[in-house]
Amino acid sequence: MSDEVMQPQQLWTGRFYNDGINSHDGLFDKLREECGVFGVYGHSEAANLSYYGLHALQHRGQESAGICVANGTDFHYHRGMGLVKEVFNNDNLSTMIGSSAIAHVRYSTAGESKLANAQPLVFKYRGGDLAIATNGNLHNAGDIKAELESQGSIFQTTSDTEVIAHLIARSKHDDIVLAVKEALLRVEGAYAFLFQTKDKVIAARDPHGLRPFVMGRLGTAYLFASETCAFDAVGGTYYRDVEPGELLVLDGKNGLIEDRFSPIKQRAICAMEYIYFARPDSDIDAINIHSARKRMGRQLALESFVDADIVTGVPDSSISAAIGYAEQTGIPYELGLIKNRYTGRTFIQPSQELREQGVKMKLSAVRSIVAGKRVVMIDDSIVRGTTSLRIVNLLREAGATEVHVRISSPPFKNPCFYGIDTPDRKELIAAQKSIEEIRQAINADSLHFLSKDGLLASIGRPNVELNRGHCTACFDNSYPTRITEESSIGCGCD
């Protein structure tokens, strides 16, 4: 097992932020992506494939990255703070020789960002070495942790993942598959888990299928990923979804074993994956994300037509919906807003003045396109409202005569307990203000949100026979699992 060498970048424990605008970076008040997982079984280039797979999943987490490789007898792993390209290089990848790997990109929800929480987490227990990578949130992890601590367990991280490791280590079962099943039956929440021993990879998805989790093939090798775009990045192909409540085991003796730890419950894939989180080139439940977003834009146009000169989308995640809105209305789509892709990560700015500069550094309104125009501005969501106000003001400063804001999701009123970093309800503008009050707060000439029915119709109607349904709790307060006061908000990757 390799020791991780602390690089200078790994010692810094402040927060830093990704170079996109679709992140919770203090400048742009957007929801934060969760984490991304990637796995390989049965390929001699497992580490390199994981590296490319993580690149494709970078939008799901930019604060740390890690890969653990097994060669049948040992683990070799490396984790670090930063982007995938900053954590990995030829030197560390070339030492990671083995045919199975699990890998992870992560962000943190709390104020500190530290290497101890970077995944995959690696443990030694009586059964040997165990590595775990997860995307999601276990909302009863706090209760289980308190119970285990009262019985003498010591925790080294603040990660939910360590709770699962303790449950596995304390299991009465010596068999890792049985121990994993027993542990999963104790936890509640949303998750896509990858477990790795020296000769096995195990994949498990929560019984509601809240977080996306897919399986792919590359020749005779098996792949796992949070999104199908990671398979494209390594030349693999989508094979099937990891079904809710399913446990898939890969080992040299038995190949693929398709098992379950729980019956499937009412399927509730996160609707925000379609609206905002997933990459447009990914498919979830065989529905392409770009196509679903275009349908949302078309539906939004049917629900809220406004006479205007141009339609523009807030880059990047709202462009597909803006194209749909333009197609439906016949109003031309224009690049009224441009994202600067080369600003790099920025530290949070201390003063309001510098904060506004930071916004302008990352996003520009194109004066020659918007000046003198009535603009329909499409965005995917409004969280606190501060981002929308800034972007509307950018357009007005560039000469737009009217700015009509159209949001390709219903009002975001409730926090997420399933792995998405959301503020408290009191900070969510739609939970506190009427739509007219929000319109005034963001300085728009008009404002309309996509209806929930319109959203579901755009994604693809829930199908009871196929048990296809969506979580829409952040819009309608209808949580698919039991939520208690102890349920934690945020991502269990933390």
Which positions lie near ligand SF4, rule CB under 6 A?
Answer: 210, 270-272, 416, 418, 420, 471-474
Closest CB to ligand SF4 among 418 and 449?
418
Tell me the closest approach of the beta carbon of residue 447 to ligand SF4, in angstroms.
Answer: 21
Closest CB to ligand SF4 among 176 and 210?
210
Q: How many angstroms separate the CA atoms of 80 and 453, rounded? A: 43
Tell me the closest approach of the beta carbon of residue 276 to ligand SF4, in angstroms.
Answer: 9
Contact 136, 37 (CB under 8 A): no
Closest CB to ligand SF4 among 222 and 412?
412
Tell me the closest approach of the beta carbon of residue 239 to ligand SF4, in angstroms.
Answer: 24
Q: Which two tokens stand for residue 465?
A: 């026979």
β-pairing verdict for 237-241 and 214-218: antiparallel
Closest CB to ligand SF4 among 222 and 276?
276
Tell me the closest approach of the beta carbon of residue 123 to ligand SF4, in angstroms.
Answer: 28
Tell me the closest approach of the beta carbon of residue 75 to ligand SF4, in angstroms.
Answer: 32
Closest CB to ligand SF4 among 405 and 420?
420
Residue the block writes with tokens 């462009």 = 319
Closest CB to ligand SF4 among 348 and 483?
483
Q: How many angstroms separate the CA atoms of 376 and 444, rounded? A: 10
Q: How many angstroms separate the CA atoms of 221 and 265, rounded? A: 30
β-pairing verdict for 100-106 and 36-41: antiparallel
Tell me the closest approach of the beta carbon of residue 271 to ligand SF4, in angstroms.
Answer: 4
Closest CB to ligand SF4 among 64 and 135?
135
Q: Which of 269, 310, 318 is nearest to 294 (CA)?
A: 318
Bridge partners of 283, per DSSP, are 288
Closest CB to ligand SF4 among 121 and 272?
272
Q: How many angstroms separate the CA atoms of 168 and 181, rounded? A: 9
Q: What is the 3-state secondary structure (H, E, C) of the chain?
A: CCCCCCCHHHHCCCCCCCCCCCCECCCCECCECCCEEEEEECCCEHHHHHHHHHHHCHHHCCCEEEEEEECCCCEEEEEEECCHHHHCCHHHHHCCCECEEEEEEECCCCCCCCHHHCCCEEEEECCEEEEEEEEEEECCHHHHHHHHHHCCCCCCCCCHHHHHHHHHHCCCCCCHHHHHHHHHHHCCEEEEEEEECCCEEEEEECCCCCCCCEEEEECCEEEEECCCHHHHHCCCEEEEECCCCEEEEEECCCEEEEEECCCCCCCCEEHHHHHHHCCCCCEECCEEHHHHHHHHHHHHHHHCCCCCCEEEECCCCCHHHHHHHHHHHCCCECCCEEECCCCCCCCCCCCHHHHHHHHHHHEEECHHHHCCCEEEEEECCCCCCHHHHHHHHHHHHCCCCEEEEEECCCCCCCCCCCCCECCCHHHCHHHHCCHHHHHHHCCCCEEEECCHHHHHHHHCCCECCCCECEECHHHHCCCCCCCCCCCCCCCCCC
Catalytic residue among 35, 270, 474, 493: 35
Tell me the closest approach of the beta carbon of residue 275 to ligand SF4, in angstroms.
Answer: 8
Q: Which two tokens stand for residue 64?
A: 């740390």
Closest CB to ligand SF4 among 273 and 334?
273
Tell me the closest approach of the beta carbon of residue 98 to ligand SF4, in angstroms.
Answer: 34
Q: Does 493 participate in catalysis according to the annotation?
A: no
Tell me the closest approach of the beta carbon of residue 189 to ligand SF4, in angstroms.
Answer: 10
Q: Which residues are tagged catalytic?
A: 35
